[in-house]
Amino acid sequence: MFIHFYKNVLCIAVGIMLTMPMYAQFKRCGTTEAYTALFQTNPSFKNQFHNNQQRIIPSRRLLNARNIPLQATIPVVVHVILNGANQTKITDAVIQKQIDFLTTSFQGLNADTTRIPLVFKSRFGKGKLTFTLAKTDPEGNPTNGIVRVVRNNSFSLTTADDAKQNETGGSTAWDVTKYYNVWIIVFADNVLGVSVFPGDPRPLNVHGTVVDYRAFGVKERHELPQYNNGKTLVHETGHFFNLVHIWGDDNGRCDGTDFPDAPPEQDDTPNQTKETNGNPDPAGTGKIVKTDMCSPNKDTGIMYQNYMDYTDDAAVVMFTNGQFDRMEAALSTSIDRKLLLQSTTYLPPPPFTIDVTKGYSVTPNPFNSKVTIRLQQPITPLQYIQIISIDGQVIEQLEYAGGTTQSILNLDVSLLAKGLYIVVLGFSDGRKVSEKIIKQ
């Protein structure tokens, strides 16, 4: 059972070999370790998580699911929470290249698939998911899908969720039903990435992936040549879509599986004792077989080429057909993932039109945290903006000395309680106009 699978997880590799280079101390992934801690401290959380996971299972029992691969575009927002010096390393171009590579990897179009051994070629999965930086923000405005927060702080595996809130030194998640949120930070404890599984009962704003900047980007020189091919985000996105580590996190007992509760025909990865470290095939021949006590078959060996192993970036190159079945089941049925398929925030917003009879527009309505007021040209100077509760109380008032002729005004209304309000615009000619708005 899935709950039994996680029960004895000790997770993460403790380190590679002492003879490896300095960067061997970094932990490829902290996801399983994070869940182990959550399960130990909160048994009710563990039960909720298990029950939610069980709801994803029925679609995994469908036969021939790969005949109709899921085709969808996933909008991504990247929150960069770094100091000034490190911000310059994670440029917009670096981010774009990494997101493009996420698409390349999930579609099986990466050039290094020549590393896949012949015996695994028939299991090599190719999906149709496309990842793209969001072009419309939560308020309906144009965006490049990148949020930059300049802070000289770092996080640890136990505080990674702090990166997901402004109030705790991070950057607040955009609506996770419309965006795949990725945070780039400094992990002080040398974790490279951590993600959240579908079915996690915590508030939705923690659902997303956190990656250390030194493991983000494709062919970037961020101190860790072992992890500079962009594979950490691919690995963590696998977790986000419900993939388990390929060795089953069973602490070397050989009784774990990376397809818990799945039908036997879906499990198309060989069993293996534990994670793989380093690069067993440095020449990239695809002919190096690595075996262990769980997979002694010298004709196949373990699938250390799989993205869900801990092998160096240079060596991991594939998902399997069964893994795509599992990810697509989560995307299609898990309430905290399937709404992503309906999101259109990867498209630019439609042109805003101002009602000429009003001379202004207030968008979005309903709103979440921001309201944008657009005024028609030529603009009569605006002297004040009021936000009034339904019972007539002035909640907020902004005054503009001498009046303002700005055509676009953005209001931060994130602290307002949910409900109905009236926004009042007062102009220098004595005219007042009002509009009902709803905080959702």
* Contacts (Cβ under 8 Å, ≥6 apart) of 244: 5, 257, 258, 259, 260, 308
Residue 250 C-alpha from the chain's centroid: 26
In one-letter notation, the amino acid at residue 364 is: P
The 8-class DSSP code of residue 93 comes to H
**Residues contacting 287, CB < 8 A, separation 6+:** 117, 281
Asked if 69 and 324 count as a contact pair (C-beta separation under 8 A), the reply is yes
Task: Check: CB of residue 150 under 8 Å from CB of residue 47.
Answer: no
Q: What are the angstrom distances between the C-alpha of 185 and each of 145, 233, 241?
A: 17, 13, 21
Out of 236, 275, 328, 399, the active site residue is 236
Tell me the three state secondary structure of residue 267. coil
Helix (H, G, I), strand (E, B) or coil at 423: strand
CB atoms within 10 A of CB 50: 19
Spatial CA neighbour of 267 closest among 72, 8, 5, 43: 5
Question: Residue 436 CB: number of other CB atoms within 10 A?
Answer: 11
Residues in Cβ contact with 364 at an 8 Å cutoff, skipping those fewer than 6 apart: 139, 140, 371, 372
Active site residue 236: yes
Q: Which residues contact 365 (CB under 8 A, 6 or more apart)?
A: 371, 435, 437, 438
Query: φ and ψ at 262, to 5 degrees?
Result: -90, 160
- Report yes or no: 347 and 135 within 8 Å, Cβ to Cβ: yes
Check if the beta carbon of residue 93 is closer than 8 Å to that of residue 76: no
Residue 269: CB atoms within 10 Å: 25
Helix (H, G, I), strand (E, B) or coil at 362: strand
d(C-alpha 244, C-alpha 417), whole Å: 39
Copy the structure tokens of residue 133.
């930086």
Distance from C-alpha of 86 to C-alpha of 71, rounded to nearest angstrom: 35
Indicate the residue type of 212.
D
Among 306, 300, 313, CA closest to 233: 313
Which residues are catalytic, by number? 236
